[in-house]
Amino acid sequence: MADKKIIAVLGATGAQGGGLVHAILSDPDGPFAARAITRNVDSDKAKALAAAGAEVVAADVDDVDSVKKAFAGAHGAFCVTFFWEHFSPEKELAHATAMAEAAKAAGLRHVIWSTLEDTRRWVPLDDDRMPTLMGEYKVPHFDAKGQADHVFTDLGVPTTFLLTSFYWDNMIHFGMGPKTGPDGKLAITLPMGGGKLPGIAAEDIGKSAYGIFKAGDSLVGQWIGIAGEHLTGAEMAAGLTRALGQEVHYNEVSPEDYRGFGFPGAEDLGNMFQFKRDFQEVFCGPRDPAGTRKLNAELQTFDEWLARNKSRIPLE
């Protein structure tokens, strides 16, 4: 244990970071030890991580000094921000900056920054194909992450930039599962047209991050995209139909309609899906499932994910 390299993991009680902590703990002969960072070391999830063998430490990304302490003595860190907790791209940028500063102060050898594309590179603010949101963003929860990439490079932090994909788990936790429409039929609703949506089992993000830490220096300075599969809405509906044993349709709507659904974040997600639909090569290109499998041999396909998780998908 003593000679293991410590990986400090932000969001350790959540989807991405939790997957990484479990990947490290599942490889007891591997080179790394997991330091799980949480705001509350007494929560049930934090206690479960400690019981499973992780070192659990407290920090809050609103407090850069606490992150510095949590990173001290570590070899690497997994950095992720929490847009859906506060809906503020400015906060994401500030939190990413705090993480980069803490990584620099701790002299970390390898950081993974869980980022996404700054869509304004392809859809400038004056492009009226999609509305500008919050004053200066097209896809707020993407743009600020991509904007933060340079913070890590500017400080000279040895960083791998991890381009994640749509979690299939959104069908369990984010209200994106099949719903019964006015015609009485189950359908998933997406504004993707016939475009392919790169998707992934959330736990495979952490497992892939583990593969990146194992690969080490060779992946520093690179942007690595990950996905389990690229599927159209119709293909996802067909997979759900097979898994659930009842017909699920693909309800294709326009991004305009999706933006108008009115739930918190609907406009952001409407723009996000439109970006993914209209920039297929930009978005799907870097997220190669075959490359992801080289990092994570246990990578799940959609069918495999459904076989394990179908009973957890609420059917409304």
Ligand X SMILES: NC(=O)c1ccc[n+]([C@@H]2O[C@H](COP(=O)([O-])OP(=O)(O)OC[C@H]3O[C@@H](n4cnc5c(N)ncnc54)[C@H](OP(=O)(O)O)[C@@H]3O)[C@@H](O)[C@H]2O)c1
Q: Using the rule CB under 6 A, which residue among 167, 275, 302, 305 binds ligand X?
A: 167
- Alpha-carbon dihedral of residues 225, 229, 231, 235, nearest 10 degrees? -170
Angle CA 44–47–52, to nearest 5: 125
Contacts of 213 (CB under 8 A, 6+ apart): 7, 32, 76, 110, 112
In this structure, the number of other CB atoms found within 10 A of the CB of residue 223 comes to 16
Q: Of 26 and 40, which has the nearer Cβ to ligand X? A: 40
Angstrom distance (rounded) from CA 224 to CA 71: 23
Q: Using the rule CB under 6 A, which residue among 16, 274, 292, 300 binds ligand X?
A: 16
Instruction: With CA atoms as reference, report the closest residue to 73 among 35, 23, 115.
Output: 35
Please give the residues from 118 up to 157 whose contact with ligand X meets the rule CB under 6 A. Answer: 141
Angstrom distance (rounded) from CA 18 to CA 16: 5
Please tell me whether residue 179 binds ligand X under the rule CB under 6 A. Answer: no
Q: Using the rule CB under 6 A, which residue among 82, 129, 181, 308 binds ligand X?
A: 82
Please tell me whether residue 39 binds ligand X under the rule CB under 6 A. Answer: yes
Which of 160-168, 184-192, 262-270, 280-288 is the region at the interface with ligand X (rule: CB under 6 A)?
160-168
Q: Of 60 and 298, which has the nearer Cβ to ligand X? A: 60
Using CB under 6 A, count the residues that bind ligand X: 26
Please tell me whether residue 81 binds ligand X under the rule CB under 6 A. Answer: yes
Pairing verdict, β 196-200 and 166-167? parallel
Q: Please give the structure tokens belonging to residue 173.
A: 């936790």
Please tell me whether residue 70 binds ligand X under the rule CB under 6 A. Answer: no
CA distances from 131 to 123, 135, 141, 252, 267 (A): 10, 10, 15, 20, 9
- End-to-end, the C-alpha distance of the chain in Å comes to 47
Angstrom distance (rounded) from CA 122 to CA 125: 10
Angstrom distance (rounded) from CA 76 to CA 216: 10
Q: Please give the structure tokens belonging to residue 16.
A: 């991405």
Please tell me whether residue 83 binds ligand X under the rule CB under 6 A. Answer: yes
Please tell me whether residue 170 binds ligand X under the rule CB under 6 A. Answer: yes
Pairing verdict, β 229-232 and 196-200? antiparallel
Which of 6-14, 153-161, 276-284, 285-293 is the region at the interface with ligand X (rule: CB under 6 A)?
6-14
* Least gap, CB of 174 to ligand X (angstroms): 6
Q: Using the rule CB under 6 A, which residue among 61, 130, 151, 236 binds ligand X?
A: 61
* Least gap, CB of 168 to ligand X (angstroms): 8
Q: Of 265 and 291, which has the nearer Cβ to ligand X? A: 265
Please tell me whether residue 164 binds ligand X under the rule CB under 6 A. Answer: yes
Q: Using the rule CB under 6 A, which residue among 85, 126, 128, 281 binds ligand X?
A: 85
Binding residues for ligand X, rule: CB under 6 A, are 11, 13-17, 38-40, 43, 46, 60-62, 80-85, 141, 164, 166-167, 170, 174
